[in-house]
Amino acid sequence: MSLLCLLGLLICTLEFGNSSQLDEQLSGPGLSPQRHRLPCQYFHVHGVPTAQKISVRIQAQRDKGPFTVPTKVFRSTKDSLLVQYKPPSFSDSLTISVTSDGKDVSGSPIFINEEIVSSSCNCPEKKVDFEDWLRDSCRNDLDPQIVRDFQFFEGGPQWNISQFLGILRRRFSNPRSQSYCHYVIKDNELYRECFGEYVGFNMFVDGILHYLTRIMNLPDVEFIINLGDWPLVHKVVSPGVPIISWCKTQETSDILWPTYDITQASLECMGRQEVDVFSVREKSAGVPWEEKVEKGFWRDRDSNLDRLKLVQISKENPQILDAGITRYFFFRDREKDLGSKNSTSFFDFYKV
């Protein structure tokens, strides 16, 4: 149950758009930063046509007096805007004001007269029970994908991580082909041991787990995470091994969690813009849907055979798919046959 709760916490933390206020123009977790310690806060402003302008002012109060918190405003849809901001490390209160034509929109202003602590502070919440906090954050509703993935293992033997690690070592004895890490959270401290030759992607796992331990006292738990770009455990293979992965298929029992580009974008928002998923909405808005190119578009490295098959399909069907390998590492002998393509800007993916 602890592992299920941990993944639920991760999904709730990254989920775009809880805390709705249906009768007002404002919604989102950034309206309650004292409850949701996100890497950067955000909220939505609804009912704002393209021609309408709004003004956002966020003011924090601390010992040295009041100061203005920087914000970013993006066009999210044709009728709504997205506002991002990063509160200071500590503040005693916060005021959020959203106006249009000099008048407050419905739900504004918002006065928060509580201490607000940013996610950069290593000060986990100690007075709140973890499962109560999770229930409050997720509104009693875990992501259905997580629930389905865990249901596969119901009724099986009691989980023994040491035994599972032994099974994985026997199944995946080639260190160049698979990489995975055994993580332990004990007394809210993070420990890991990794297996395989290419384990650099553990930095993405470390980043999100360290963030979680800064904001909440996590339950003691251990688990295995797949560092590869493809699932590892087929449902028909016995015994089943519960392993967390960034991707899966209907035939595999891997437990799905958000891919590293999403977690990285969430951790680095308002910082490294090139991985900021919010920014993409505005950058791609200049091309109307009816003017976009009607074909699939894909670029990446040669991390598995399925990607090579995708490029071959593209070569045979260029009218419906434009797929290309930008860098060869595992299958360098196929570069002459399949060719290579230049890298494409992250933002340009959404313009075609």
DSSP characters for 172-196?
---TTT--EEEEEEETTEEEEEEES
Name the domain count of the chain. 3
pLDDT of residue 16: 44
Which candidate, 350, 341, 336, places its Cα nearest to that of 318?
A: 341
Which residues, at least 6 apart from 238, have a Cβ–Cβ distance to it below 8 Å? Answer: none
Least confident of 1-5, 211-215, 314-318: 1-5
Q: Which domain holds residue 243?
A: 142-267
Residue 19: pLDDT band by 50, 70, 90 thresholds? very low
Q: How confident is the model at residue 260 (pLDDT cuts 50, 70, 90)?
A: confident
pLDDT at 18: 46
In this structure, the answer to whether residues 169 and 241 fall within a common structural domain is yes
Query: 242, 267, 292: which is the final residue of a domain?
Result: 267
Q: How much is the average pLDDT of 162-177?
A: 87
pLDDT value of residue 254: 94
Task: Report percent pLDDT > 70 for the chain.
Answer: 86
- Measured distance CA(214)–CA(93) in Å, rounded: 21
- Among 22-26, 218-222, 258-262, top mean pLDDT goes to 218-222
Mean pLDDT of the chain: 84
Half-sphere exposure in the Cβ direction for 54 (13 Å, CA):
28
62 and 85: one domain? yes
Q: Is position 8 within any domain?
A: no
CA-closest candidate to residue 211, choices 184, 181, 180, 190: 190
203-225: average pLDDT: 91
**42 belongs to a structural domain:** yes
Share of the chain above pLDDT 90, in %: 36
Same domain, 133 and 146: no
Has residue 237 got a pLDDT over 80?
yes
Specify if 11 maps to a domain.
Answer: no
147 and 260, same domain (yes or no): yes
Instruction: Of 83, 25, 79, give the one whose Cα is nearest residue 50.
Output: 79
At 264-280, the pLDDT tens digits run 888 888 776 556 666 67
> Cα angle vertex 233, ends 241, 262, to 5°?
100
**170 and 232 both lie in a single domain:** yes
State pTM to two decimals. Answer: 0.79
193 and 289 share one domain: no
Instruction: Choose the final residue of a domain: 80, 111, 137.
Output: 137
Which of 333, 256, 348 is closest to 298 using CA atoms?
348
Query: Whole-angstrom Cα distance, residue 310 to residue 320?
Result: 12
Question: What confidence tier does 24 reach under pLDDT thresholds 50, 70, 90?
Answer: low
Task: State the greatest distance between any 2 C-alpha atoms of the chain, in Å, as a whole number.
Answer: 68
Q: Answer with the residue of higher pLDDT: 278 or 2.
A: 278
| pLDDT, position 173 | 82
Q: Is residue 275 part of a domain?
A: no
Q: Is the pLDDT of residue 147 over 60?
A: yes
CB 47 within 8 A of CB 80: yes
For residue 76, give both structure tokens.
């999210």
* Residue 165 CB partners (closer than 8 Å, separation 6+): 182, 195, 224
CA distance 281 to 286: 10
**What's at 134, amino acid-wise?**
L
User: Residue 212: inside a domain, yes or no?
Assistant: yes
